[in-house]
Structure 1
């Protein structure tokens, strides 16, 4: 077992050295050029996440939140599918009841591209919004984050904040407007994190922007919104929750990451597994183990769908500070190189491998490979997921 652990550790360190500075899920990304402190490994970790509010029907409070913020002109971001469903109506009813002026941008692309981000940025730049509301899944919330970022930093080039080597990976210094995220899927946890992912069409790759500055001011988790998810959307969203929890729990520990930053502002958002992220990952796994199958099989199972909505946020809190690893890393070529595949239950006009599906496809091979590095954590996760382990 010791030899296997050394082999995996060596491989992960080699991948670490050879990898690009991806801000989406890697642990080595820093938002500015870091002065290496030779021979030193990390000794600390941080916990950063959005404010979270949970409860059935809690969407009715969003208008009051904006009123409390003194909002006068709100950008509501959603997609064509959600624009026809009750979650958006609930948001708009609350804004109207509280006298909030708003404009709707509903042209979000499921699995955003650089062009779809730019379209949303252009919409936001032409108006003087003082706050944002995202109503939808991870694609909508990520698009809203980026519209807010570039409208708040209008002189910036699009690639300024995109991770190196594709972009310049500059630190975000602009002051962004408040963003309230109302998730309608139970998967990405984007309402808790400071990351936004997109397809960079020119290179046929997925990349992203990561900064604590772009995380939502508030995530409103209303389980009533999950009842509108079709079966496959629920399944693929749930797979994302599962992998977020498993990967963040089995990620390289924060105190094995190097170099140690010379300044705390250079400490990356994705730091490696740590005692706080572990709590959220394990709790999310327990919920997934008990409720995911029920939520998929029976869309009327309100308890299961509500629990999975909460598990998505829990896993987001975990991976949003620990990061994840190979499942997510290898999902990018799977989804980025798609040509003709269109997933069931996704009403889109372009080829699409849903994110959760692209992630879970490699998970059996990934966890077979990583198990020797931290067998106790893999065994604990397996037991939580219902495996009966016979160890003598």
Structure 2
């Protein structure tokens, strides 16, 4: 089992990944992100173990082969259920299965999973051992540095040590505490202070483990800085709201040769997927909602967002909506260039 797991792990890299985000990183979002980067590891939204076992699997965990490498994130705390889910993930072709020990929502607290598992390192260890023994794909942990009144260093190191004893080698650490009492899930993404140094300390203490840092990483420049201290960086909201930065990841983070993937090239690459989904009955808006920030900072970005937002929800909307949005950006760019040329001519004449 360990040899199979290592072989699978060697086929993907955790050096850069896009965080699992509820209501955002669905299959259409991941296919879009894949049009921008071939190397980043992509994650599903968290899916509960019970839902995977008893629910509509195609709807919940179905994905397109274009998304590889892609990991399934699970929520749960029952070793037997999670083992079953790990087998299902492997059978469905996922490259990794990840256990959520960091989500602070009321839903996960009532279900005894997510961030509250920071208080039960032995239970998490049992879950991870069951998952590892059940399937030949990597089983990883995403956690916080503690919850509520826990001492962060003690809580984080205890969880990592327990899971490492069970054979887990990769940990994604959101460098904030989760406050389960007093803060909303949204507030938990911003208010608890970041402690990157504690994550660096973990890596220094356990150089044998793969440590990925997450939380508040807003740019590739920041990611590059973290990579001097840890093995990988996971971006969340920054990658979602300004997806064009993903077009630089393969070159800047992975050292790949070749040009970056620009917004227009990404849309060209995404277009066949969109056409296939439209033919399968997927509404246009289910795909365009993930693209609204693609033109961020470019002339015409506001028109691009408006056209996609308004026109994609019309009955029968198709790729012509995308074409109109792209045309608006190109027209704005042409107008901006004409203004620059006119200004340059004026200055030259003067």
Superposed pair shares fold, TM > 0.5: no
TM normalised by structure 1 equals: 0.26
TM normalised by structure 2 equals: 0.28
The structure whose Rg is larger is 2
Q: Which has the higher contact order (CA 8 A, sep 6+)?
A: 1
